[in-house]
Amino acid sequence: MLLQIFDAFKPRLHDSNSKVNQVALEAMHKMIPLLKDNLSPVINMLIPAIVDNNLNSKNPGIYAAATNVIQALCQHLDNSLLLQPLCTKAQFLSGKAKQDLTEKLA
């Protein structure tokens, strides 16, 4: 069930409409404390959707929302669930996104 919900939700996290994208990130930020480690089956799908384009976004609202989501993930999920997907993403990022993710990993 959770997988089906996030399969439908994931495209909104990198929607071409910046308002839709930002609202999806803000909604994700609200969901994380409620779902916590129950997100483990979808975390490998969510991390790329949250990080790709959003952490390097020139739109300050999208960047702030993506940063908040990453922070919430680090606060509410077991770090062992996040380590591998965040490391994988950090390897292939550039610019501010790489710096932000590297700091979170440290």
Which CATH number goes with the domain that contains 70?
A: 1.25.10.10
pTM over the 0.85 mark: yes
| 59 Ramachandran zone, left/alpha/beta (phi>0; psi -120 to 50) | beta
43: containing domain: 1-104
Q: How many folded domains does the chain comprise?
A: 1
- 8-28: per-residue pLDDT in tens? 999 999 999 999 999 999 999
Question: In this structure, what token pair is assigned to residue 71?
Answer: 């922070």
Instruction: Please list, in sequence order, all residues whose beta carbon lies within 8 angstroms of the beta carbon of residue 59, skipping any fewer than 6 positions away.
Output: 18, 22
Helices (H) and strands (E) in the chain, counts: 6, 0
- 45-98: per-residue pLDDT in tens? 999 999 988 999 999 999 999 999 999 999 999 999 999 999 999 999 998 999
